[in-house]
Amino acid sequence: MADTSRRALRLLSLLATRRSWSLGALAARLEVSERTVRRDIETLRSLDYPVVTLRGPAGGYRLGAGHTLPPLRFDEDQALAVAVALQTAPTTVSGLAADTERALEALEQVMPVRLRAAVEALRLTSLQNYWEFPAQPIEASALQAAGSAVRRHEILVVEILGPDGTRTEPGTAEFAPARRIEPHHLVVWAGRWYLVGYDHADVAWRVHRLDRLHLHSPTGIRFTPRELPGGDLAGLVMRTHDRGDTPAAWECTGSARLNLPAETVARWAPGGSVVEHLDSDHCRLTVGAWSWAGVAGLLATFDTDLAEVEPPELVDACRRLVRRWQAVAGNAEPAAHP
């Protein structure tokens, strides 16, 4: 009976995807006999789904007008996938924020309580930025564990991983002991996932890259949510300098202060860059390339004034490029004016 029900639901979804299907095409897609397809069609009709029989040489079946799909059934992995896909879609395709929010709410209404809780655990805060080169994908288990801790207000025990994603060994200079965090928000910014919480070890609010954390087993210890400093979640994430972002490994890495807001630079900065919020109109961009001239060229793609350029090798490269471009401009013929 369970197999019959699953097959009938799949048949219904096939009929809803196109205007008509031949009997042979449906049997092939469902990997059953044509007789079984006929029997499943009668099952759908008994449930008041208007499956219309098309007569003639090109006959077949189609779903009639006025049909409605049954409540969707998801397992936990599917619920997680839907929640993440709907909430991260606006960061890659503009204009979908309102539609995806409505779609997520509609899906939650037809989910059992247990699965609705799993989706609610992944209610993310998107800062509506775009990133051409996002970080590596987050493990679904880590995302679900962090989201559940946020929703349940449960303390997390975490270890901060190295830039290469490995755990540091006790006795090494890089080793840092596990710490207890009160997780308050999951945030998507610049194509990366961040956990915003209150760190007991530092007695302060911290923003951590989720892919740079090793999450221990759930503690079950509840906490009372605190007031976010200034009430500005987006500002807290962008102003935090030690989010765990590190530039990619390049032959040359340099930085400069740009007269542009962090959210603008984050949209166009290449992968492996670090964008540091300074104020509403300025940020610091750290970027790498195979040469100092390459770093200077990347900085020049942002059509704005630069300041506090570091290190000295990058400054020298900028001077060399200036001389080269001056030579090009001096040898160029004046543009003809109509």
Condensed to tens digits (0 to 9), the pLDDT of residues 24-73 reads 888 888 889 999 999 988 888 887 788 888 887 667 888 876 555 555 55
Lowest mean pLDDT across 19-23, 77-81, 273-277: 77-81
* pLDDT at 320 exceeding the cut of 90: yes
Q: In this predicted structure, what is the pLDDT of residue 338?
A: 45
Query: Quick one: average pLDDT of 75-93?
Result: 67
What is this structure's pTM? 0.57
Q: Which residue has the higher pLDDT, 279 or 332?
A: 279
Tell me what pLDDT residue 193 has. Answer: 85
253 pLDDT band (50/70/90 cuts)?
very high
Angle in degrees, CA 291, 209, 218, rounded to 5: 155
Contact (Cβ atoms closer than 8 angstroms) between residue 219 and residue 181: no
Q: pLDDT tens-digit profile of 129-179?
A: 444 445 566 777 888 889 899 999 999 999 988 766 778 777 777 777 899
Q: What angle do CA 12, 18, 19 make, to 5 degrees?
A: 105
Residue with the bigger pLDDT between 288 and 74: it is 288
pLDDT over threshold 90, residue 291: yes
Average pLDDT over residues 185-202: 86
Collapsing DSSP states into helix, strand and coil, what is residue 111? coil
Report the pLDDT averaged over residues 67-82: 63
Q: How confident is the model at residue 1 (pLDDT cuts 50, 70, 90)?
A: very low
DSSP for 215-254, written as a single string = E-S----B-PPPPPGGG-HHHHHHH-S-SS------SEEE
Instruction: Enumerate domains of the chain plus CATH numbers.
Output: 2-63 (1.10.10.10), 76-236 (no CATH), 252-330 (3.30.70.250)
Residue 227 has pLDDT above 80, yes or no: yes
- Residue 173: what pLDDT? 72
> Where is pLDDT greater, at 72 or 304?
304
pLDDT-derived band at 262 (thresholds 50, 70, 90) equals: confident
Is the pLDDT at 93 greater than 60? The verdict is no
Lowest mean pLDDT among 92-101, 221-230, 247-256, 260-269: 92-101
Question: pLDDT band for position 196 (50/70/90)?
Answer: very high
Q: 302 to each of 11, 260, 265, 314, how far by Cα in Å?
A: 53, 9, 8, 16
Judged against a pLDDT cut of 60, whether residue 336 lies above it is answered with no
Q: Which two tokens stand for residue 170?
A: 């006790």
Q: Where are the alpha helices (DSSP H) in 16-94?
A: 23-30, 34-46, 76-88
